[in-house]
Amino acid sequence: MNNEEKICSIIEQAEEVLQPYYKKNKDIAYQNFKKVMTAFTNHSVTESDFSGTTGYGYDDVGRDKLEEIYRDVFKAEDALVRTQIISGTHAISLVLLSLLKHGDELLYITGTPYDTLEKVIGTTEDDIGSLKEMGVEFNTVDLKDDQFDTKSILSSITEKTKMIGIQRSRGYSHRKSMNVGQIEAVIQTIKEKHPNIIVFVDNCYGEFAETREPLEAGADIMAGSLIKNPGGGIAKMGGYVAGREKLVERVSYRLTVPGVGKEMGASLNALTDMYQGFFMAPHTVMESINGALLMSYVFEKLNMKPSPRYTEERTDLIQSVSFNNEEEMITFTQMIQKASPVNARFMPIPDLIPGYQNPVIMAAGTFVQGASLELSADGPIRAPYTVYAQGGLHIEHVKYALEMSLTELSEKNMIEL
Measured from the CB of residue 219, what is the shortest distance to ligand PLP in angstroms?
14
Cα–Cα distance measured from residue 281 to residue 261, given in angstroms and rounded to the nearest whole number: 27
Q: Which residues of 201-220 are buried (b: 16+ CB within 10 A; e: fewer)?
A: bbbbbbbbbbbbbbbebbbb
Q: Is 88 in the site for ligand PLP (CB under 6 A)?
A: yes
Minimum CB distance to ligand PLP smaller for 18 or for 198: 198
Taking residues 168 to 197 in sequence order and writing x for each that binds ligand PLP by CB under 6 A, - otherwise, the string is -x-x--------------------------
Q: Is 326 exposed, middle or buried (0-12, 13-18, 19+ CB in 10 A)?
A: middle
Q: Is 154 exposed, middle or buried (0-12, 13-18, 19+ CB in 10 A)?
A: middle
Amino acid at 42: N
Measured from the CB of residue 30, what is the shortest distance to ligand PLP in angstroms?
25
Q: Is 225 in the site for ligand PLP (CB under 6 A)?
A: yes
Minimum CB distance to ligand PLP smaller for 62 or for 291: 291
Which of 53, 87, 98, 366 touches ligand PLP by CB under 6 A? 87
Measured from the CB of residue 232, what is the shortest distance to ligand PLP in angstroms?
15
Measured from the CB of residue 75, what is the shortest distance to ligand PLP in angstroms?
21
Measured from the CB of residue 302, what is the shortest distance to ligand PLP in angstroms?
26
Minimum CB distance to ligand PLP smaller for 87 or for 386: 87
- Restricting to residues 283-302, name those near ligand PLP by CB under 6 A: none
Cβ 289 vs Cβ 317: under 8 Å: yes
Q: Is 204 in the site for ligand PLP (CB under 6 A)?
A: yes
Which of 70, 108, 138, 205 touches ligand PLP by CB under 6 A? 205
- Restricting to residues 131-170, name those near ligand PLP by CB under 6 A: 167, 169
Interface with ligand PLP by CB under 6 A: which residues? 87-89, 92, 114, 116, 167, 169, 171, 202, 204-205, 225
